[in-house]
Amino acid sequence: MFVLSFLAAAAAVAALQQTSSTAHTAAPSVTIPDGTVTGSRNNSIDTFLGIPYAEPPIGPLRLRPPVPLSTPFGAFNATLQPKSCPQLLMDVDPNMFALVPPDQQAMISSFFSSPAPDQMSEDCLTLNIYGGGFQVGSTTSNDWSGIVSYSTAIGHPILVVSLNYRVSSFGFLGGKELQADGSTNLGLRDQRLALEWVSQNIAAFGGDPERVTIWGESAGAISVALHTALNNGNHTSQNTGRPLFRGAIMNSGSGNPSLPIDSAPAQDVYDMVVANSGCAANATDTVACLRSVPYETLQIASNTVPSLLSRNGLAINHWPRPDPSDPSFSVSPAQSFLSGKFARDDEGTLFALALLNSTAQAQLVSALKSGVLHGAPTRLIREFVSLYSTNATCGSPFDTGNNGEVYPDYKRNAAVAGDVAFIFQSRSYLSAISRHLPDIWSYDAAYTKGSVLGTFHGSDLVLLGSGAPRIAYQEVLDRHISFVYYSDPNTLTKNNNNSSMDGSVAWPRWTDAKREMMQFNNGGVRVIKDDFREAAYGYFRRVWGLLTI
């Protein structure tokens, strides 16, 4: 197994088995066991939208593991955007946007925007994995036609399969009641079933089921890391007998240590949803009550839970958690990576804007404890935060001097948030898996820098989804496509003259001894050391397993 760790919606990417130079104008039509799917064609890109891969998780199937389609759908019109799964409506503090320049407001608002209520439905398990902190996101979050078109232009065409999976309380509700019911981590199970669908059906669309790469950003990246560790690393398809994937790309996320499904933070969220659904009085079977209430009731109750960038500060309340009663995901991801049981830059600035009221060190420690590091002893968080200077020149966005200090200690908070959630998590993850897996590459993104957010969490999606090639865009895409085709981000330039990849700069494998990574910027690429804030990382690494979400 090959890993590319990047500092896009989760997606399954398959290299095409063959390339046809024949132009077609008729609507594309593909026949699979479930029926005939008719899509649309635009600028030589074939698109198939909203293909169902599971029974609708409604009625008695709500809050249960996904069920494969039981009846063929026959002829299917795949030209309409599907509805998104129910998700949290982001209660973002408007003061956040007031602090951000207009050119960056559009980017972050699109990244964390929620669909309109009439664009959401429980009947949402369709193909068309994504970011959003397991609270928001859908297959409509990103337009992948740009990368597909570019891959075709350089003679290495790929297919991108994005998927809807259940999020928020519909997909990642914890608690002992759902554990006893065998209905935990439902969104993760949705993703796994979709990967089974890809393994069984992608060949009919021209994809190669032997060359599937799973790819995700933020929550999608965390999902990708988890899929490499589920079933003790056994990622063989239950239906085809072949591996579900051969490579993994993680943008802005990795496998974070996490508390179990019946831990206090998970139980608190379950109890809150139960109470606000009117099910608290039904003490004998609250799960059955949640399944029976109207969709609108459960959606409203779900939205009483503080969201990722809420007015209450940074809050991570819906999260995939190990379930000791589930053999496929029984231990914390960190334990799996350290034991080898897995298939072989300014990230925190956006989240620091959610910490507007956390200016003193004690307030920051409290915010991290209550919103993110639920299981970590307060003493460890306090000692970790104390390693960061309040001097604005040392904070994030980095290399900007005193600029960008939008509130007192903003840049300190941004550095801490980015390291806790992404940078140090990623480095610890790479350190753990590098003991067992040699083919690992890592990178730092230094493009699309803004005065307040820098190269913020999720900005790589803006780049990857763009249809207007530029230096950073082409270089990053070339490396991604090379990895999908050859399991190595350096190979494409050697085999294809249409690529714009800078072949003079080899991307070194990441090892714990050297910790070298590629840095992408608007002027090109260079190799740098993955040694940012080494003193703080040294402390973080020693207590990594205790800093649980």
Dihedral angle over CA of 445, 447, 453, 458, nearest 10: -60
Cβ-contact 227, 192 below 8 angstroms: yes
* The predicted structure's pLDDT at residue 467: 43
The CATH number given to 2-546 is: 3.40.50.1820
- Residue 393 structure tokens: 């020149």
Q: Is 492 helix (H, G, I), strand (E, B) or coil?
A: helix
Distance CA 419, CA 368 (A): 12
Distance CA 120, CA 66 (A): 18
Question: 141, 218, 307, 459: which one is catalytic?
Answer: 218
How big is the chain, counted in residues? 549
Distance CA 9, CA 142 (A): 7
Residue 199 host element (H or E): helix 186-201
Cβ-contact 134, 168 below 8 angstroms: yes
- Name the residue ranges covered by the structural domains of the chain: 2-546
Q: Is 218 a catalytic residue?
A: yes
Residue 42 burial (CB count, 10 A):
9
Three-state DSSP string of 358-372: CCCHHHHHHHHHHHC
Going residue by residue through the chain (549 aa), what tens digit of pLDDT does each one get?
A: 455 544 333 456 666 654 444 445 688 999 999 999 999 888 888 889 999 999 999 999 999 999 999 999 999 999 998 988 998 765 555 554 455 555 555 555 554 556 677 778 898 888 753 233 455 566 665 677 778 888 888 888 888 898 899 999 999 999 999 999 999 999 999 999 999 999 999 999 988 898 888 888 778 888 888 888 888 888 899 999 999 988 888 777 677 778 899 999 999 999 999 999 999 987 789 999 999 999 999 999 998 887 655 444 455 678 889 999 999 898 887 777 667 765 643 333 333 333 444 445 677 777 777 766 777 888 888 888 888 887 877 766 666 677 656 667 777 777 787 787 778 888 888 888 888 888 888 887 766 544 333 333 344 554 455 443 455 667 888 888 888 888 888 888 766 656 667 677 888 888 889 998 888 777 778 898 988 888 888 888 887 777 777
Distance CA 295, CA 288 (A): 14
* The predicted structure's pLDDT at residue 19: 42
Of the candidates 407, 293, 266, 303, which has an alpha carbon nearest to the alpha carbon of residue 349? 407
* The predicted structure's pLDDT at residue 197: 95
